[in-house]
Amino acid sequence: MASTDASGPRRCPDEYRVVAIVEYDGTEYLGFQIQRRGKTIQGEIEQALAEITRHETRIVGAGRTDSGVHARGQVIHFAPTWDRPVSDLQRALNAVLPRDIAVVGLKEAGPGFHARYSARSREYWYTILNRPVRSPLALRYAHHCAKRLDVQAMDAACACLVGTHDFLAFGWPPRGNNTVRTVLRAACARVGECVRVEIEANAFLRRMVRRIVSNLMLVGLGNLSVRAFADLLSLGHRRTPAAQAPANGLCLMTVNY
């Protein structure tokens, strides 16, 4: 991400755009992308911009997180009607936005920067609370599994995902028919009482991570072998043994440029 001094001279609104890193709790929202009805992350940010700048401003996100999915490192860009330092815009946005959405960084973007198309990869984490008793405090951010998971087997299954594959069995393309994606890294580890699945890819299908996780859990429970999990990549349909894990455990962590 290229940037200029936040206190430097401003260019005309139609000649520059800014890039922001946004963190949000997606529990109460119908996903990132604006909808005709219901609250969305994009809708709340655009409403805040309109209130601050008195102009309608469209934002573009790096990823369209689904209903109930969280983000620590969502990236957006937009071209605001604004003639003051961008640091002031960040403060103004955080003063107006709901408490479950925050702009944690905002800079002027470099020439040609696009939040979605300039991205090289995106990284998602899925958190599973793996203990006998559920946790009310973790309810919004982790899926509970009472039976102990075999993390070593799940990690071995994750290794099958790395590389370029047709992920038709695990999701739907946001547009078009191309279901081929490249997974750069996939791993599973136990972190305290939680099991965390981390997947980095050049792009993701809709529901891809959640469907992968649900089938990884079958591996961890001993109901699906690592070989059978790997064979899912060669299916010509989406009838996998498990549908999709709940949204609350999923978080968009980082977008890499």
Kindly list the structural domains of the chain, giving each domain's residue range(s) and its CATH number in brackets, ordered by start: 13-108 (3.30.70.580), 121-256 (3.30.70.660)
Residues 150/220, Cβ–Cβ less than 8 Å: yes
Give the C-alpha separation, 121 to 102, whole Å: 22
* Residue 108: pLDDT over 70: yes
* Residue 5: pLDDT over 60: no
Give the C-alpha separation, 72 to 34, whole Å: 19
pLDDT at res. 8: 41
Catalytic-role residue among 66, 150, 155, 166: 66
**Which tokens hold the place of 131?**
């203990």
65 burial via Cβ count (<10 Å: 0-12, 13-18, 19+): buried
Rounded average pLDDT over 44-65? 97
The amino acid at residue 14 is D
**Which tokens hold the place of 101?**
């959405």
Q: Is the pTM of this model over 0.85?
A: yes
The model's confidence at residue 94, banded by pLDDT at 50, 70 and 90, is very high
pLDDT at res. 9: 38
The model's confidence at residue 156, banded by pLDDT at 50, 70 and 90, is very high
Residue whose tokens read 């799940």 = 154
Residues 205/141, Cβ–Cβ less than 8 Å: no
Give the C-alpha separation, 113 to 117, whole Å: 8
Rounded average pLDDT over 10-27? 80
* Residue 182: pLDDT over 50: yes
pLDDT at res. 15: 59
Rounded average pLDDT over 161-185? 95
pLDDT digits (tens, 9 = 90+) for 140-153: 999 999 999 999 99
C-alpha 224, offset from chain centre: 27
The model's confidence at residue 175, banded by pLDDT at 50, 70 and 90, is confident
pLDDT at res. 4: 37
**Which tokens hold the place of 207?**
């529901």
pLDDT at res. 174: 86
Give CA separation, 141 vs 1, 24, 60, 128, in Å: 29, 11, 25, 9
Q: What are phi and psi of 73, to 5 degrees?
A: -135, 40
The answer to whether residue 231 is catalytic is no
